[in-house]
Amino acid sequence: MTTQATVAWLFPGQGSQKKGMGEPLFAAFPELVARADAILGYSIEELCVRDPERKLAHTEFCQPALYVVNALSHLHALASEPPPRFYAGHSLGEYNALLAAGCFEFEVGLRLVARRGQLMARASGGGMAAVLGLSADAVRGELLPSAGSTDLDIANINSPTQVVVSGDQEAIKRLVAHARDRKSVKVVPLMVSAAFHSRHMEQAASVFAEELARVVIRDPQVPVVSNCTGAPFAPGKLREVLAQQMRSGVRWWDSLVTLRRLGVDEARQLGPGRILSDLWEEARKVQVPPATSAPSVPAVARETPDRPDSAKLPATRRPPRLGAAFCDRHGVRLPYVAGSMYRGIASADLVVRMGRAGLLGFFGAGGLPLTEVEQAILRIRRDLGPDVPFGVNLLASPDRPELELGCVDLCLRHGVRFVEAAAFTQLSPALVEFRFRGAEIRGGRAHAPNQVLAKVSRREVASAFLSPPGEDLLLRLQTAGRLSAEEAAAARRLPVSTDVCVEADSGGHTDGGVALVLLPAMVKLRDQLASRDRLDEPARIGAAGGLGSPQAIAAAFVLGAEFVVTGSINQCTPEAGTSSAVKDLLAEVELHDTTYAPAGDMFELGARVQVIKRATLFPARANQLYQLYRTYDSLDVLPPRATAMVERFLGRSIDEVWTLSKQRLADRPDELARVSRSEKARMARVFKWYFSRSIESALAGDLGERINFQIHSGPAMGAFNAFVRGSALERWQERHVEVIADELMSRAEYSLSANM
């Protein structure tokens, strides 16, 4: 039996550039090259292949050029070879190693490298020289003092007898002159414009540290050996080490020795030249003890999907450890879902962004006219294409079943294969029809093309979704011609939901459940029902509510979740379909800035929603209205002070609101008749005007109505704000939904691997 070699890929840095580099690669990756051209403002292919103005010799052009060629070389290698176990890069090449390890996107790295090159190019006045034939200790302790050049710094330790020094030009000249009289050592001045990797880079490094703070950088998902420390990058230290790298020596030999200790058998250079491959061959001849432990990195490597509008570099092709069954079933790369949010807050932009990142998102169709829902579906399908999965919210409407049926018809007509069932207390015909339309028994097993993610918080509701539909409901659908006999037969062998999300205390409608109690109980219930009903494919159990930090997500998986659904935190993203005023407020929310208020859509029942209380009077005013509703039976018997207060909340007179309410109910004559007959119902209808007003003013960002904003959110928002404080994600403008997903999941995975 042959043991597979442990491989590392190495990326070269400045000094390896040459005219013609990367020539066969540019045509193979035209979209990536176009992205680079757009960022840099010039043709990267022209610079690398022809270099008509001889700019490759200049730092500010050389560094982005090498970065792009190294990146293309990595993509080319991945097309025909399995990914390596380790990465490393020499100085600039370290950015390609980090890119390959999933720390940032191609565009982010290119902007950083271009800025790095500009800053280093400005720090002119110094020089560098290669010292051949002496060790770093001998250079530092003997050669530099004897030459009177003690103000030079060790910039590179490439091998035991190849050292580069950096510093003032006069000190370099003294060293060169001194070395002429020594036969055992050779000093060669390098053609550079500044004293790189020395104290001369201090100011440039300080400025660059500010640049690093403004971008999203994740911990490596494949071990990367830092040439600044000679050891694998430690979690949470990447920005700090990259800023230090500009002014510190490159410990390349230590990096190679570390790779040897970690068990690397083969290492090869990607990118122009072969100097790193030659140095590796030298390192292979040295005997080194094995490492006592493997580097501490997340156990799961992120797989980067193909995107129609952006070329991202795949870091690896390993399947995810968490939620593998969920990912395989739905064709996504992480067991992470952006749930729907009412009135299009979970917008088409949000769903498209998730889909392009290889993640699942649901459009917030609840409360929107069917015409708007259809427009959103068409837009999402157009932007994602026919094969990328996405879903649409299906909101329970027991009083208006035509809304459910209309949404289901839209989804079936336009090939939407996934709905998120929310607020259901019992199964509806429309929901069951969607799930089992097109179902069949094939190869002795039942299959259904359509999938349902049901959000539940109660055992009896979960039981209905975890089981096949009842015979009465199937018979009704067959009689109405909505399901065929074959579809009904398949339905008897499958659960109504492919995925059941256990919703603990959360934003919006909530039963205030505790995840620690609910999740294990629901997992056990699923297993019992699957065994009882002999299901061909049991549902997967997920978690939602309170998921605003990596630790909370990690805990959900420990409790038995196979996927997670986030909601509140996605409101505070550029893609969310709410106002900037709301996002500004949400970005400041602390852990205890939420409270409970009556739910406008279930006002008479006393249902509650969790909302933001910071900078808004909505919770207090909503509770006052509900207390009036419980105390009095008619608007006509309200005390004068209460009437004045209500009209202040409504922003107009009670009579005006009642007139407008009747107009809104004109297309629902039965409901209008019911409300008109009952003084209590009329009171509720008028009071609910305030709830509609508070939602609409928040969505519109009407600052004059800010004190009335109704913003559904749970404590997860405050937890997330605390998690990202001090990072680039502190600003909501940087909180793109897929970035949040990657950041939370990668750190949750690391938390699990580190602590368990």
What pLDDT was estimated at residue 742? Answer: 85
CA–CA distance from 629 to each of 115, 597, 683, 692 (Å)?
62, 14, 7, 17
Mean pLDDT of 511-527: 88
Mean pLDDT of 533-557: 92
What pLDDT was estimated at residue 291? Answer: 53
Helix extents (H) in 429-468: 429-436, 459-466
Residue 509 annotated as catalytic? no
Residue 168 has pLDDT above 80, yes or no: yes
From 73, 91, 506, 697, active-site residue = 91
Give 704-747 pLDDT, tens digit per residue: 999 999 999 989 999 999 998 887 788 899 899 988 998 898 88
Give 248-274 pLDDT, tens digit per residue: 889 999 999 999 988 898 999 999 989
SS3 15: coil
591 and 713 in contact (C-beta within 8 Å)?
no
Q: How confident is the model at residue 169 (pLDDT cuts 50, 70, 90)?
A: confident
From 90, 197, 200, 330, active-site residue = 197
Residue 197 annotated as catalytic? yes
Residue 300 has pLDDT above 80, yes or no: no
Q: How confident is the model at residue 755 (pLDDT cuts 50, 70, 90)?
A: low
CA–CA distance from 390 to each of 112, 358, 678 (Å)?
33, 10, 43
Residue 151 has pLDDT above 80, yes or no: yes
The two three-digit tokens of residue 422, written as one number: 């929310």
Give 224-244 pLDDT, tens digit per residue: 999 888 889 888 788 889 988
Residue 563's Cβ-count burial label (10 Å; 0-12, 13-18, 19+) is buried
Q: How confident is the model at residue 319 (pLDDT cuts 50, 70, 90)?
A: very low
Residue 313 has pLDDT above 60, yes or no: no
Output DSSP code: residue 615. Answer: T
What pLDDT was estimated at residue 667? Answer: 84
The two three-digit tokens of residue 321, written as one number: 């450890």
The dihedral sign for the CA sequence 42, 48, 49, 50: positive
Percent helix, percent strand, percent coil in the chain, to nearest 5: 50, 15, 40
Q: Set out the domains of the chain in order of their start, with CATH numbers.
A: 7-119+199-284 (3.40.366.10), 126-189 (3.30.70.250), 334-575 (3.20.20.70), 585-719 (no CATH)
Q: How confident is the model at residue 74 (pLDDT cuts 50, 70, 90)?
A: very high
Percent of the chain scoring above 70 in pLDDT: 94
Residue 2 has pLDDT above 90, yes or no: no
Q: How confident is the model at residue 410 (pLDDT cuts 50, 70, 90)?
A: very high
Q: How confident is the model at residue 690 (pLDDT cuts 50, 70, 90)?
A: very high
What pLDDT was estimated at residue 629? Answer: 93
What pLDDT was estimated at residue 671? Answer: 86
Mean pLDDT of 292-305: 41
Give 553-593 pLDDT, tens digit per residue: 999 999 999 999 999 999 999 999 999 999 999 999 998 99
